[in-house]
Amino acid sequence: MNRIACVGDRDSVRGFMAIGFEVHTADTLQEAEKTVRALADSENVYPIIFVTEEYYNGMKHLISAYAEKVVPAIISIPGKNGSQGTGLAAVKELTEKAIGADIALNS
């Protein structure tokens, strides 16, 4: 069975336990990076790891190290303070790579 992990501050991620995600809380960026590394490099790799935007934006170097691998997919999610636009920017970048052109994503 595939597992899905969620990493972030307690207030942002605790609700994900209700839908069956494995929740890992972190109080600092360093704790979040250590957790993501452990989840990504474990024997039972998590195919999807959600990370709150605050931490995701602080660990771009780590995210890029796993970007070319099939698993895990490390995906940003909004934190307790709302969206910072990281997810939309990632979708825009991937779309540009896939079709070779910039398209407008209007909300």
Q: Choose among 83, 105, 82: nearest CA to 93.
A: 105
Residue 86 in domain: no
Per-residue pLDDT tens over the stretch 30-76:
999 999 999 998 777 788 999 999 999 999 999 888 888 888 889 88
Strand partners, 24: 7
In whole angstroms, give the CA distance from residue 15 to residue 8. Answer: 11
- Residue 77 predicted with pLDDT over 60: yes
pTM of the full predicted structure? 0.79
Asked if the structure places residue 69 within a domain, the reply is yes
| Residue 38 included in any domain | yes
What is the domain count for the chain?
Answer: 1
pLDDT tens digits along 79-92: 877 676 676 666 66
* The residue to which tokens 């595939």 are assigned: 2
Which residue range(s) make up the domain with 18?
Answer: 4-80
Percent helix, strand and coil across the chain, each to the nearest 5 = 45, 20, 35
Q: What are the start-end ranges of the E strands in 1-107?
A: 4-8, 22-25, 48-52, 73-77
pLDDT band at 5 (very low <50, low <70, confident <90, very high): very high
Asked whether residue 39 is assigned to any structural domain, the reply reads yes
Query: CATH code at 9?
Result: 3.40.50.10580
Residue 10 lies in a domain: yes
